[in-house]
C-alpha cells in the first residue's frame, strides 16, 4: 500500500475548507502594506542622510553655516551694531542642533594687494580668519608665524566664479583657472602711512564653505595687535557647525534673533516638513494596510480552523497534541507571510538602487542598499506579524478542544 | 500502568446514582496493569459517560481518576495527548472515523502518529477483519459493521497499556466478532495491555479478571 505522509493527511483534514481568495487577499494587503512601510522608512532615512550631510553631500547637507547679524536700516548707522558679544556667541552655541561655534575675525588694519607682474592690478581688500577646525580643507603650508614673509591665502570659490563668469568677460580680461591663481604671488601691504609691512601672499586653496578671503588666524591676530591695538576685537560673523540645518527649531532661533545665514541651506527645512508629511502619510497608510492584511490573515486562519473543527477535535482525540497541530498550521502559513515580506524587501532594495542611481546625476550620493532602519522596520513588522498569527492559531486551537 | 477510580460520580447523574447500588460509581477501585475488566452497564446507567471520563473527554464529575501518575482532572493538554497517543487506546461506540478520508487514510492518521506498527501489520490486520478490499473507500461509504472493524484496527495501531472499549462489537455478526476478539487479544497480549470493555449485556468475549455492574 502506498505510504501516506502524516502532514499530507493532516493537511487534508484541516485545510480542505480553506478559502484561497481570502488568503491571497490578505497576502496582497500584507505585501502592499509592508512595501509602503519600507518606502516610508526609506524616504525618511534617505532624506535625513542628505540633510544631515553624511555621505559627502556638502552642497546640501553642509553642516557649516556662516551666521551674521542682519544689516537693517536701523543698524546701518551704528558702529559695532552687527558685532557679536560673547553672551550672544554663547547663546548661538546653545541653540538647537548647534555642535560648535567659531568666530570669523576680520582685519582691523588696511590691506592693499597688488600683482607685480600685471601693472595696475591693485586693490584694497579685507582678510578674515577662522579656527582651523572649521575649514573644509587645510592646504599644505597653511601656517604663519611672525617673521614669515609668505602669507598663505584661501579664497572662496565663489569669488573666483564671480571673476571668471562675471567680471572677466565684461572687462575683456582672461579667465583664470585655480592652478593659475595658485601660481601667482600677490604683494600684500598692511598698515598705514609709514607703519607698513610687506608680505607675499599666495593662494594655496579654495573653499566652498566660507565666503571670504582667509589667512591663518595667527596673521590676523599679529596684524590687529600691531596696527590696531586699541580696537576691540569682536567678530561680525560666526561660523557654526550644525548637525541638521533643516531643523525648524534652528531656523526659528535664527529668525528670532534676526540673524542671517546662507539661506540656501535653510530652505531645506521647508522641504523637510514636506518630506516628513509624505513619509508619515505613507507610513500611516502602510500601517493601516498592514493592519487590514493581518486582520484578514488572522480571520482566514480562524475561519479555516473553525471549518475544520470536527476533524480537529477528532485528531486531538486520536492523540495529536495541540502543539503539533499549531506548529503544523504555523509551518503552513508563516512561510507565506515571509514570502510577502521578502517580496517587499526586494522592492525596497530595487527602489533604493534606482534612487541612488538617479541622485548621482544631481550630485548626491546615497547608499545602494537600504540601511539599518529599513531592515529594522522589516524585522519589527515580521516579529509583530508572527506574534499575532501564532497567538491567533494557538487561541483558536484551544477553543476547539 | 495502574488505573485508580476514587468515588467518581457524574454531576448530571448525581441524584439518580444514589438510588441504585452501582459497583463503579462512588466506589473506590484499583485495576492493575494487564487486567481484563468487564463493566456491564444497562441502558441509562452512564456507560458512555464513564468511557468519556476515563479517556479525558469530560470532566464533569466528582471524585478522581488516575492513570498511573496522571490525575485526569489536572492533566494538561500535552500530557493528555501523550497519554492518548502512547498509553490508552480506545474504541468508541460511535466509531468516530474521519468520513472524508478513505479506510486506509483513517488508519494511517493513527499509525503515523507513533510509527510503532508496520504497514505490513496494519494491512494484515485489515485482512483478518475482512476490510482490506475497502481500503480505498471513503469511510462515509462504509456500512456500520465495516466502520466498526476499521475503528477496531485503528485502535491497534498505537502502543497501549490499556484498551478501553465501548460496545465495540454492536454492529458485528458472530463470525466477525470472533475475528475481532482474536485480533484484540493478540495485539493486547503483544502490548501486555489491560482491557476495559463496557457493554449492555453480560458476555465472555474475553477471559475477564473482574466483572462489575455499573
CB-CB under 8 Å, B81 with A316: yes
CB-CB under 8 Å, A1 with B104: yes
Give B96's pLDDT tier (boundaries 50, 70, 90).
very high
Tell me the shortest Cα–Cα distance from B62 to chain A, in angstroms.
Answer: 21
pLDDT the model gives residue A346 = 95
Lowest average pLDDT, out of A298-307, B65-74, B155-164, goes to A298-307
3-state secondary structure of A358: helix
CB-CB under 8 Å, B104 with A13: no
CB-CB under 8 Å, B78 with A323: yes
Interface test with A, best of B55, B98, B100, B126 (most A CBs within 10 A): B98
For chains A and B, CB pairs below 8 A equal 67
Q: Which residues contact A272 (CB under 8 A, 6 or more apart)?
A: A47, A51, A246, A247, A248
pLDDT the model gives residue B152 = 97
- Model confidence pLDDT, tens digit, residues A103-159: 888 888 888 888 877 666 788 888 888 888 877 677 888 888 888 889 999 988 888
Residue B36 in this model has a pLDDT that exceeds 90? yes
Percent of the residues in chain B that have a pLDDT greater than 70, as a whole number: 100
CB-CB under 8 Å, B100 with A319: no
* Of A10, A311, A322, Cβ closest to residue B81: A322
pLDDT the model gives residue A101 = 87
For residues B50-72, average pLDDT:
94
For residues A25-52, average pLDDT:
85
pLDDT the model gives residue A361 = 79
* Of B96, B101, B135, Cβ closest to residue A1: B135
Report the half-sphere exposure of A78 (CA within 13 A, side-chain side): 11
Contact A12/B at CB under 8 A: yes
298-317 in chain A: CB under 8 A from chain B: 311, 314-317
Cell 486582520 found at: A295
Report the half-sphere exposure of A90 (CA within 13 A, side-chain side): 3
pLDDT the model gives residue A283 = 85
Give B61's pLDDT tier (boundaries 50, 70, 90).
very high
- Model confidence pLDDT, tens digit, residues A359-387: 887 777 788 888 888 899 899 999 999 99
Q: How far is CA A314 from CA A19, A146, A339, B97, B102, in A?
A: 22, 99, 32, 8, 15
Q: How far is CA A253 from CA A249, A267, A275, in A?
A: 6, 15, 22
> What ranges do the domains of chain A cover?
6-58+269-399, 64-242
Percent of the residues in chain A that have a pLDDT greater than 90, as a whole number: 16
Interface test with A, best of B109, B110, B124, B158 (most A CBs within 10 A): B109
Contact A395/B at CB under 8 A: no
CB-CB under 8 Å, B98 with A311: yes
Concatenated DSSP letters for B124-183? HHHHHTT-GGGTTSBGGGS-HHHHHHHHHHHHHSS--SEEEEESTTTT--HHHHHHHHHH
CB-CB under 8 Å, B77 with A321: yes
End-to-end CA distance of chain B: 22
pLDDT the model gives residue A267 = 64
Q: Which of A109 and B117 is assigned the larger pLDDT?
A: B117
End-to-end CA distance of chain A: 33
- Model confidence pLDDT, tens digit, residues A316-344: 999 999 999 999 999 988 999 999 999 99
- Model confidence pLDDT, tens digit, residues A47-71: 877 766 544 444 444 467 788 888 8
CA distance A125 to A155: 12
Domains of chain B: 3-213 (3.40.50.300)
CB-CB under 8 Å, B82 with A319: yes
Tell me the chain B residues in contact with residue A319 when contact means C-beta distances shorter than 8 Å: 81-86, 113-114, 158
Tell me the chain A residues in contact with residue B57 when contact means C-beta distances shorter than 8 Å: 317
Tell me the chain B residues in contact with residue A317 when contact means C-beta distances shorter than 8 Å: 55, 57, 84, 96
Tell me the chain B residues in contact with residue A320 when contact means C-beta distances shorter than 8 Å: 81, 85, 113
Q: What is the pTM of this model?
A: 0.67
- Model confidence pLDDT, tens digit, residues A263-320: 565 666 677 778 888 888 888 888 888 888 888 888 888 888 888 999 999 999 999 9
Tell me the shortest Cα–Cα distance from A315 to chain B, in angstroms.
Answer: 8
Cell 492518521 found at: B109
CA distance A189 to A151: 11
CB-CB under 8 Å, A10 with B135: no
For residues B113-118, average pLDDT:
94
- Model confidence pLDDT, tens digit, residues A179-221: 888 888 888 888 887 788 889 998 888 887 778 888 998 898 8
Give B188's pLDDT tier (boundaries 50, 70, 90).
very high
Interface test with B, best of A9, A17, A325 (most B CBs within 10 A): A9
For residues A36-52, average pLDDT:
82
CB-CB under 8 Å, A10 with B85: no
pLDDT the model gives residue A19 = 78
CB-CB under 8 Å, A316 with B123: no
Amino acid at each position: 500500500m502506498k505510504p501516506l505522509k502524516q502532514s499530507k493527511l493532516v493537511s487534508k483534514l484541516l485545510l480542505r475548507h480553506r478559502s484561497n481568495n481570502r488568503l491571497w487577499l490578505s497576502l496582497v494587503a500584507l505585501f502592499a502594506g509592508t512595501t509602503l512601510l519600507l518606502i516610508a522608512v526609506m524616504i525618511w532615512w534617505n532624506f535625513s542622510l542628505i540633510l544631515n550631510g553624511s555621505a559627502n553631500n556638502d552642497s546640501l547637507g553642509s553642516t557649516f553655516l556662516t551666521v551674521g547679524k542682519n544689516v537693517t536700516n536701523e543698524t546701518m548707522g551704528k558702529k559695532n551694531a552687527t558685532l557679536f558679544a560673547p553672551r550672544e556667541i554663547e547663546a548661538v552655541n546653545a541653540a538647537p542642533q548647534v555642535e560648535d561655534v567659531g568666530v570669523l575675525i576680520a582685519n582691523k588694519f588696511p590691506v592693499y594687494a597688488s600683482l607685480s607682474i600685471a601693472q595696475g592690478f591693485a586693490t584694497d581688500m579685507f582678510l578674515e580668519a577662522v579656527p582651523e577646525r572649521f575649514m573644509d580643507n587645510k592646504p599644505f603650508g597653511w601656517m604663519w608665524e611672525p617673521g614669515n614673509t609668505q602669507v598663505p591665502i584661501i579664497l572662496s570659490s565663489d569669488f573666483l566664479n564671480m571673476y571668471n563668469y562675471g567680471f572677466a568677460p565684461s572687462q575683456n580680461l582672461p579667465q583664470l583657472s585655480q592652478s593659475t591663481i595658485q601660481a601667482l604671488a600677490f604683494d600684500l601691504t598692511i598698515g598705514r602711512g609709514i607703519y607698513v609691512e610687506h608680505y607675499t601672499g599666495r593662494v594655496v586653496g579654495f573653499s566652498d564653505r566660507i565666503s571670504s578671503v582667509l589667512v591663518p588666524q595667527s596673521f590676523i591676530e599679529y596684524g590687529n595687535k600691531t596696527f590696531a591695538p586699541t580696537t576691540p576685537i569682536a567678530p561680525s560673523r560666526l561660523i557654526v557647525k550644525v548637525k541638521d540645518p533643516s531643523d525648524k527649531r534652528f531656523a526659528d532661533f535664527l529668525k528670532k534673533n534676526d540673524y542671517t545665514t546662507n539661506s540656501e541651506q535653510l530652505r531645506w527645512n521647508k522641504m523637510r516638513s514636506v518630506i516628513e508629511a509624505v513619509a508619515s502619510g505613507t507610513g500611516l497608510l502602510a500601517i493601516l494596510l498592514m493592519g487590514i492584511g493581518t486582520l484578514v490573515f488572522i480571520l482566514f486562519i480562524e475561519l479555516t480552523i473553525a471549518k475544520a473543527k470536527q476533524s480537529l477535535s477528532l485528531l486531538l482525540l486520536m492523540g495529536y497534541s495541540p502543539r503539533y497541530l499549531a506548529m503544523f498550521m504555523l509551518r503552513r502559513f508563516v512561510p507565506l507571510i515571509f514570502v510577502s515580506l521578502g517580496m517587499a524587501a526586494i522592492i525596497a532594495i530595487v527602489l533604493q538602487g534606482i534612487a541612488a542611481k538617479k541622485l548621482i546625476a544631481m550630485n548626491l550620493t546615497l547608499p545602494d542598499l537600504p540601511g539599518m532602519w529599513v531592515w529594522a522596520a522589516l524585522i519589527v513588522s515580521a516579529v509583530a506579524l508572527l506574534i499575532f498569527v501564532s497567538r491567533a492559531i494557538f487561541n483558536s486551537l484551544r477553543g476547539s478542544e | 500502568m495502574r488505573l485508580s477510580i476514587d468515588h467518581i460520580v457524574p454531576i448530571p447523574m448525581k441524584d439518580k446514582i444514589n438510588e441504585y447500588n452501582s459497583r463503579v460509581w462512588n466506589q473506590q477501585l484499583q485495576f492493575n496493569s494487564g487486567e481484563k475488566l468487564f463493566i456491564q452497564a444497562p441502558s441509562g446507567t452512564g456507560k458512555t459517560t464513564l468511557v468519556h471520563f476515563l479517556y479525558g473527554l469530560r470532566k464533569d464529575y466528582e471524585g478522581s481518576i488516575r492513570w498511573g501518575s496522571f490525575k485526569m482532572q489536572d492533566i494538561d493538554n500535552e500530557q493528555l495527548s501523550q497519554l492518548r497517543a502512547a498509553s490508552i487506546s480506545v474504541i468508541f461506540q460511535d466509531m468516530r472515523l474521519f468520513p472524508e478520508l478513505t479506510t486506509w487514510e483513517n488508519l494511517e492518521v493513527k499509525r503515523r502518529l507513533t510509527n510503532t506498527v508496520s504497514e505490513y501489520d496494519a494491512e494484515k490486520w485489515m485482512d483478518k477483519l475482512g476490510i482490506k478490499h475497502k481500503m480505498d473507500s471513503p469511510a462515509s461509504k462504509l456500512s456500520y459493521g465495516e466502520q466498526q472493524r476499521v475503528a477496531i484496527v485503528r485502535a491497534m495501531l498505537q502502543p497501549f497499556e490499556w484498551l478501553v472499549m465501548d460496545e465495540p462489537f454492536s454492529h458485528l455478526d458472530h463470525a466477525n466478532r470472533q475475528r475481532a476478539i482474536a485480533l484484540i487479544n493478540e495485539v493486547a497480549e503483544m502490548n501486555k495491555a489491560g482491557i476495559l470493555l463496557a457493554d449492555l449485556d453480560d458476555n465472555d468475549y474475553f477471559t475477564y479478571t473482574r466483572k462489575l455492574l455499573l
